[in-house]
Chain A
Amino acid sequence: NAGVTQTPKFQVLKTGQSMTLQCAQDMNHNSMYWYRQDPGMGLRLIYYSASEGTTDKGEVPNGYNVSRLNKREFSLRLESAAPSQTSVYFCASSEFGPAGEQYFGPGTRLTVT
């Protein structure tokens, strides 16, 4: 049972480049989330998907887009990367939204130069 997987683990981009962070879960969870973690800031919600086919903005959505491809997969896209997007990105899933435990992936460390 892999849980929540994320690819890649590390990425370095130049300003203006684009990339997609991939996330997949094998627990048949309805809800999926993307967070970013910055030093001294905790985790902040970027986007979430309450169920397949729906997505909504979180606290810090600017500069990002998401796609809930199917029930398993939830991707995060940076169309034009900026140094302010240097961060560690975590994907998570839960069965019942905030009422249930969120299971986190191992994270993607992104550096934008």
Chain B
Amino acid sequence: AQSVTQPDIHITVSEGASLELRCNYSYGATPYLFWYVQSPGQGLQLLLKYFSGDTLVQGIKGFEAEFKRSQSSFNLRKPSVHWSDAAEYFCAVGAPGGGADGLTFGKGTHLIIQP
């Protein structure tokens, strides 16, 4: 079965600074990888996804993520954060063609933006 680890429970970043949120996964082959964002009291919104091909994927709101097979990682980055980026961020993995037909989520990283 697949698993996801988000090592950072909380991250504090100054507005305008760059951001990197870490995600490591465990899966026997190349999984499908996702980053979701959850604002307080809201459901989850997809930021970006990786299935195959180019290992650097672009998403909405200026986010990007890079798949590194050798490190089993899919880290999320943004060059300059805005106060509206404060939210909970979840990395998720899906198993292509097998296993439970849902996603396995990490425990989330809470992003705090300092003015």
Contacts and interface: CB of A to CB of B under 8 A. Distances in A.
A106 interface: yes
Contact of A42 (B41, B96, B106): B106
A104 interface: yes
Nearest to A34: B102
A99 B42 contact: no
A35 B92 CA distance: 13
Given A90-B43, A104-B45, A105-B43, A98 B107 contact: no
Contacts, number: 68
B17 interface: no
Most buried by B among A40, A44, A90, A99: A99
Contacts of A33: 101-102
B101 A50 contact: yes
A53 to B, nearest CB: 14
A35 B102 contact: yes
A98 B4 CA distance: 15
A98 B49 CA distance: 11
Interface in B83-115: 90, 94-96, 100-108
B44 A90 contact: yes
B43 A45 contact: no
Contact of A102 (B9, B103, B107): B103
A45 B100 CA distance: 9
B11 interface: no
A48 B34 CA distance: 19
Contacts of A75: none
Interface of B: 4, 9, 32, 34, 36, 41-46, 49, 51, 90, 94-96, 100-108
Interface of A: 4, 31, 33, 35, 40-45, 48, 50, 56, 58-59, 90, 92, 97-99, 101-107
13 contacts: A35-B105, A40-B108, A41-B107, A42-B108, A45-B100, A45-B102, A58-B102, A98-B32, A98-B95, A98-B101, A101-B34, A102-B46, A104-B44
